[in-house]
Amino acid sequence: MKILLTTIASCLLLVGQAQQAPYLNPALPLDTRVQDLLNRLTPEEKIYQMMNSTPAIPRLGIPEYNWWNEALHGVARSGIATIFPQPIGMAATFDDGLVHAVADAISDEARAMYNAALKKGYHMQFGGLTFWTPNINIFRDPRWGRGQETYGEDPYLTSRMGVALVKGLQGEDPRYLKVAACAKHYAVHSGPERLRHQFDAEVSPKDLWETYLPAFHALVDAKVEAVMCAYNRTDGEACCANTYLLQDVLRNQWGFKGHIVSDCDAIADIYEGHKLVNSKTGAAALALERGVNLNCGDTYLSLIDALHQGLVTQKEIDSSLAILLRTRFKLGLFDPAGSDPYDRIPERVINSPEHRALARKVAEKAIVLLKNNGALPLSGGLKKYYITGPNAAAVDVLLGNYYGVNDRLVTILEGLAAQAQPGSQMTYRQGVLLDRENVNPIDWASGEAKTADATIAVLGISGLLEGEEGESLASPSAGDRLDYNLPAAQLEYLRKLKKGNSHPVIAVITGGSPMNLAEVQELADAVLLVWYPGEEGGNAVADILFGKVSPSGKLPVTFPRSYDQLPPYEDYGMKGRTYRYMKADPLYPFGFGLSYTTFSYGDLNVSKARIGPHENVVVTVTLTNTGKMASDEVAQLYVTHENQGEGAPLFALKGFQRVSLAPGASTRLSFTLTPEQLSLIDAKGLRVMPAGKIRISVAGSLPTHRSEELGAARGVETEVEITEK
């Protein structure tokens, strides 16, 4: 104890002696403080401060700090925190205002947790304020195990959701960041997981600028504090040593002012995986030269040798570190306690009742009703309910990946049990294993469905089968899903549940990616896709099943009928991929989702039928709830360029609005389409405004015959003509 007190006293003395230093004076300009601190660091200290795990510098009163922190859908890996639905589920809400509220709650909890840790002198990994989220890669192929982390397959939806998350995380204070967000993984990154450390994602200029870069550009415009470069190469250059992506586009064209961080050990991959240089020293020097400020890993230790060998200069190191230090100053990490408003966020916000209510609301709005033959909503007073399936009582299916922990996780079984009325009977048997046949041949489970008034079978996949390399313990392909079907044992169990059963069987499907649900669609009386719904997932599922809330989620990703409809996984060309370029008929279209009520669209008008290449067009439409239950609807606006050749998108989402309507109520919606939204990207990657007709459609799903076959309301459409002058 005496040694500990002496150490603390020594540190306090050093801090006291340094109080007069300009870098510790919050009243001075940011650049002045950064330069003063730089001048006080030795060359070795500077290099150590450019890795994710930075050591303390006691002589300057600077504690250790770890840049690696996660908050994909709640503060992750750092203790008790509110666990919101996985981002693919948040995307299904089509509600960027709701995502902003989620991010605001997450950053409040992050600050409260950081403040509490700081009082105890803790400076652990996953306990800081620099969060490596959001993942705004495009979910171009359903095989990618990390697609669950994204906001789906559409650049516009991804941009809206990503911007909302960044603004909610970083806060609105003109001087301080609440936390620092990070746009990842830059760029052209979406599997295969097993190959990511040596893979070259080759992409045309058109696909690069039309699909893979728009969300990153949007987040840079929203002043995201960091960008993470990816593991892979893009068109031959490692993403963390890519002149075109990092310098020409990110810094020069977009004017990005924040810091660039490598994915973890991605700089080592330049040497070990991509073999673009012949040493770690060479890899470190190349990454620094191309603009990477922060190394997740320890390869930047080799910068000490690179400096001695003349491969890098002290000026290059100083310039790079200065950008990093700006982030730490903007977070208030060198200011006295209480200097910024976020120092006062109390611990009581962590997993507060308000945040739990928000998590439940998001989960409700994310759930997608894929089929309903009249079985739903269920009455809470039926005589007997039978709950079964491998995921009914499972905690893993609430979490997805990159999650926190929680002492009140509500499984689907628990949520349903909480809403069953007294006098009703509810029984549960798991019935079948997640991903393999039962070893015990005795089946007491499937027959029980015939004795119940309603059977709820909770099927699907979990993080055991899909996720990041190394995380998915039951995945034979490093977290990717190279088998598109549900596990065969689950389908066989569903057949048994339905055979000879005159009562409804409802399939509740968990997972974070498209999967082949064709037989589930055929067998079940109703199908609900609930994603990885977070800590309140069980309550949200029960709210939907028992009709407290009408389902209103929409698919942010296309569900192909099979892998036969997809190009090879390693092919990064967009032809045949996503709703924008896929001509084959899908199982479920992008934007699809049913409700307990019905909606109609009508009276579509445009401000001008002929518009010049630099003019906006205003689109208005009437939306009416024609059913008997209050519900939300997501009105989606799509643009199609007529007669623009093979490369033009078949459809392109350019606007969406979530609206709540009472039965019989109508509202008039207005969308403004800008010249940029009406333009196209040509083969050279340049934005052009082609003259000709453009079809504008507004509907509650992708406006195709497949959507109508599945029960979506018919949308409305009109045409405008873009003139040359």
One domain for residues 310 and 369: no
Cis, peptide link before residue 134, omega less than 30° from 0: yes
Q: How far is CA 596 from CA 38, 376, 542, 590, 630, in A?
A: 61, 8, 15, 19, 9
| Domain contains 284 | yes
The CATH number of the domain holding residue 497 is 3.40.50.1700
Retrieve residue 92's tokens: 């299904």
Helix (H) or strand (E) segment spanning residue 697: strand 692-699
Active site residue 263: yes
| Domain contains 86 | no
Q: Which residue has the tokens 């994710």?
A: 52
Q: What is the pLDDT of residues 250-286, one digit of tens each?
A: 999 999 999 999 999 999 999 999 999 999 999 999 9
| Domain contains 502 | yes
Active site residue 64: no
Nearest partner of 279 among 301, 264, 246, judged by Cα: 301
User: Quick one: average pLDDT of 418-422?
Assistant: 94
Q: What is the pLDDT of residues 120-162, one digit of tens each?
A: 999 999 999 999 999 999 999 999 999 999 999 999 999 999 9
Q: Indicate which residue of 149, 193, 269, 466 is catalytic.
A: 466
One domain for residues 269 and 394: no
The CATH number of the domain holding residue 40 is 3.20.20.300
Q: Which amino acid is at 688?
A: V
Total tally of structural domains belonging to the chain: 3
Domain boundary among 556, 591, 626: 556
φ, ψ of residue 570 to 5 degrees: the values are -75, -10
User: Percent of the chain having pLDDT more than 90?
Assistant: 94
Q: Indicate which residue of 263, 269, 480, 543 is catalytic.
A: 263
| Domain contains 120 | no
Q: What is the pLDDT of residues 584-617, one digit of tens each?
A: 999 999 999 999 999 999 999 999 999 998 999 9
Q: What is the pLDDT of residues 558-589, one digit of tens each?
A: 999 999 999 999 999 999 999 999 999 999 99
Q: Quick count: other Cβ atoms within 10 Å of Cβ 214?
A: 19
Nearest partner of 84 among 68, 48, 108, judged by Cα: 108
The whole domain housing 43 covers 22-63+181-330
Alpha-carbon span 625 to 623, nearest angstrom: 7
For the chain, state the CA radius of gyration: 27
| Domain contains 133 | no
